[in-house]
Amino acid sequence: MTRTADAFWLNESGNGEVRQVTLAEPGPGEVEVRTLFSGVSRGTETLVFRGGVPENQYATMRAPFQDGDFPWPVKYGYLNVGVVEHGPERLRGRTVFCLYPHQTRYVVPESAVTPVPDGVPAARAVLAGTVETAVNAVWDARPLIGDRIAVVGGGMVGSSIAAVLATFPGARVELVDADPARSAVAERLGVGFALPDQALDGCDLVFHASATEAGLTTALNLLAPEGRVVELSWYGDKRVAVPLGEFFHSKRLTIRSSQVGTVGRSDRSYAERMALALDLLADARFDALITGSSAFEELPAVMPKLADGEIPALCHRIDYGRGHVPS
């Protein structure tokens, strides 16, 4: 008898629906997970939602367990926390994180799930994928004790980086965003806040995550001589202008990219990076990044509102209740 689960699919720009999908029986080395929560990563998922993935980036932008192909129809997402209901004894009954889309139940190799530490609430663990990105960015940047650091762009990735750096020894950390409301997030994270024209300059290091030309210009303007911008913004199919004249050469500035597809340290594995991200989530300050929640059944109506900003969000959590019982 065919078993099924419910999954959220994007059909075309501005249109999503919950579909019934076939649920395979778990085989040797596989686990079946009942989803408790998933998270909408507003920046990346909005880009996918509006069909903004460039054709030459279709392969790069694929989520680990994506179904369908860009632009549509596609089942996309990568922030999922659930309970293992079938699998090896060491995992059965454990709460786990997986880079899986929005779906009530799923079957994946056991190597694809990471146990959530006992001290991390399942509802907070949906942030693991984004905190993993932040960990990688910090590894790429290699900050030093006492650095003057700015994070330009207070979205989900930028705020995650600020949270990771909030207790870095001796560092001055300031979150910079054009939205004054982000000051409340910065306060909860324990870092400074400034509007772009009021930000502290003389920075040794700036993380840029606003995905705007203006944000990148601000990031460069804040640097001290020999300073570095670590660029995390994903612009999709949008071209951006970079101000490489004026002081760029005379101050010997550097722009380097950072993205989660490659581990930022040669002595760490993907699994170790994810485990570290989950360990960091024992800190309750990360709750500031979850700015709303909705039931799974509401996702087709909620996603357009997240995409157009009607629902302002960093990470919007999707709650599954008891989840779908496969038939």
Q: What is the pLDDT of residue 323?
A: 47
Cα 36 from Cα 80, distance rounded (Å):
8
Nearest to 106 by CA among 130, 91, 89, 86: 86
Partner residues linked to 151 by β-bridges:
175, 207
Q: Where in the chain is the domain with CATH 3.90.180.10?
A: 4-119+282-319
Which one is the CATH code of 4-119+282-319: 3.40.50.2300, 1.10.260.40, 3.90.180.10, 3.40.50.300?
3.90.180.10
Tell me the pLDDT tens digit for each residue of 75-88: 999 999 999 999 99
Note the pLDDT of residue 241.
87
Among candidates 153, 263, 211, 129, which has minimal Cα distance to 162? 153
Distance CA(273)–CA(251), nearest Å, equals 34
pLDDT given for residue 16 in this prediction: 93
Report the 10 Å Cβ neighbour count for 12. 12
Question: What is the per-residue pLDDT for 40?
Answer: 94
Residues 6+ apart with CB under 8 A from 250: none
The DSSP 8-state label assigned to residue 25 in this structure reads P
Determine the pLDDT at residue 327: 43
Q: Where are the beta strands (DSSP E) in 158-280?
A: 172-176, 192-194, 203-208, 223-231, 254-257
Closest CA to 84 of 100, 66, 106, 117: 106
Residue 322: predicted pLDDT: 56
Place of tokens 């629902």: 311
Beta bridge partners of 109: 30
Model-wide pTM > 0.75: yes
The residues near 217 (Cβ < 8 Å, ≥ 6 apart) are 243
Residue pLDDT, tens place only, 14-50:
789 999 999 999 999 999 999 999 999 877 888 898 8
Degrees to nearest 5, angle at CA 112 with 107 and 116: 100
Q: Which residues of the chain have pLDDT under 70?
A: 322-327
- How far is 140 from 123, CA to CA, in rounded Å? 28
pLDDT tens, position by position, 119-130: 999 999 999 999
CATH class for the region spanning 131-257: alpha beta
